[in-house]
Structure 1
Amino acid sequence: MESKKRAAAPKQGVLEKEIENIGKVQFVPSATAKYVRISIRPGQGVKVTLPKRASLAQAEAFVQEKAAWIRKHLHSQQQEQGKKTVFTPETEFRTRFHQLLLLPHPLPQCKSRLKDGVLYVWYPEQISYEHSDIQDYIVKAIEYTLRLEAKQYLPQRVAQFARQFGFSYQQVTIKNAKTRWGSCSATNNINLNLHLMRLPAHLCDYVILHELAHTVEKNHGPRFWALLDQISGDARGLDKQLKAYRLHIY
């Protein structure tokens, strides 16, 4: 499998404009939004949500008003992106159950294989492993591995903790979410991120316990933290440790 990036076409109704000192900004109409809202997410840039009553001119004026805040967050995200691993044959990287091994081969395309606790990724020897297509392939192979591991490991871990602490939930879904390690719905369906398989075991367990606590306490009020502290041992301390990790920074 060899990946080639293509620029995504803007969605219908979405307007893209180049704003001085900021760059590309997407203006997205919304039938449900009540206020003009700015969001900045890794790989997605600046998005401005427009409610029905707001004009484009008003939205642009709001962007200019918040320009310093936007530039600060864009700079912060660029710094985070700069921390991303460039995978090399010498890179020491492992998921919960597999070690990455990057190898050159004479074929013209990348290939990968899981065997005996090793994720083998072969790349064309005539192309540098630093090439973006090679790096994209490696990340996709890692995420495929993480998904397999997560499906095998996380649901049974949730069930184990639910039995241990007396929680009830509906089902567990594995996702490749961009912003959350996990979530719990109003109907007690638990969503867990496949990237939990990159975390130290005690932090992976903490996220699971966090979402199970939400089956009883739906917000992050004092009762929630008291419950989570009771079952995790050190809720605030573990939460602080978790903040040192980034979902898509390897």
Structure 2
Amino acid sequence: MQQIIEKSFSGLGRVEFHLNRKISRIIIRMKPFKNISVSVPRGTGIIAAEKFLVQKNDWILKNICRIRSYEKKVVAEQQNVKEIDEDQAKLQLLNRTAELAAEFNFQFNRITVRRQKTRWGSCSLKKNINLNINLIHLPYDLIDYVIIHELVHTTIHNHSSRFWEELSKYVKDPEKKSRSLKKYQYLLYMSKNKE
């Protein structure tokens, strides 16, 4: 089990130190709406990690500034998003997945629709598909793109050139659709009360 130590730093706020025996170097992670996270290899120690944090202070502050700016944009963009009926949204996404699977002859085991903070969807090796409920806010062509992307993962479990070739049989210009999704990244941070 990973040990977590939390400390406060002037100008940086709360920092979580994660003692992790699986890594070989100190890693700093910063994500919107989260504390700074520092992964520390076993045997390195918190004092060494704190010194590393101080050495990277300028880089961290620059990135904090960029992240805070992004967080403000996310909050502003979310003001324009309409509230949805969560049960209705789940039903729509489940039905659309079933329709597309039947249309393109894909088999899957189970579909789950829930909130996810980092991805629009995923597919396990057991052909279990997870979809982000906030897909419902996307244009229809992008909803279909994400669903078909995950359906293709039921047969090809990676992002190899073979995967993209297969996906392009069902979606016109999938790389362009993938880039278009980035414009809607703020929706991944939607809070429950907005839905």
Give the TM-score range, shorter chain.
Answer: 0.7 to 0.9
The answer to which structure has the higher helix fraction is 2
- 1:156 aligned onto 2:102: no
Distance (whole Å) between structure 1 residues aligned to residue 119 and residue 77 of structure 2: 24
1:146–1:182 Cα change, 3 Å: farther
C-alpha RMSD of matched pairs (Å): 2.5
Distance (whole Å) between structure 1 residues aligned to residue 131 and residue 77 of structure 2: 26
- 1:248 aligned onto 2:189: yes
Q: Is the 8 A contact 2:81 2:137 kept in 1?
A: no
What's the offset of the Cα at 1:210? 1.1
Q: Which amino acid aligns with 1:159?
A: A
Cross-structure match for 2:38: 48
What's the offset of the Cα at 1:40? 1.6
Cross-structure match for 2:13: 23
1:33-61: per-residue Cα shift (whole Å, max 9, x none)?
45433222222120112232321122223
Distance (whole Å) between structure 2 residues aligned to residue 156 and residue 189 of structure 1: 15
- 1:193 aligned onto 2:184: no
1:208-237: per-residue Cα shift (whole Å, max 9, x none)?
111111112211111111111221111011
What's the offset of the Cα at 1:70? 2.7
Say which of 76, 86, 95 aligns to 1:85: 76
Say which of 42, 47, 59 aligns to 1:57: 47
What's the offset of the Cα at 1:65? 4.1
Of structures 1 and 2, the one with the larger relative CO (CA 8 A, separation 6+) is 2
Distance (whole Å) between structure 1 residues aligned to residue 178 and residue 138 of structure 2: 13
Identity across matched positions, percent:
34
Distance (whole Å) between structure 1 residues aligned to residue 55 and residue 167 of structure 2: 40
5 Å-filtered alignment, 1:102-117, equals none
Cross-structure match for 2:158: 219
Cross-structure match for 1:73: 63
Structure 1 gap ranges (5+): 1-11, 95-141
Distance (whole Å) between structure 1 residues aligned to residue 77 and residue 122 of structure 2: 30
Q: With structure 1 as the length reference, what TM-score do the two structures score?
A: 0.66
Distance (whole Å) between structure 1 residues aligned to residue 178 and residue 85 of structure 2: 22
Q: With structure 2 as the length reference, what TM-score do the two structures score?
A: 0.83
Cross-structure match for 1:171: 110
Structure 2 gap ranges (5+): none
Q: Is the 8 A contact 1:146 1:195 kept in 2?
A: no
1:167–1:68 Cα change, 3 Å: farther
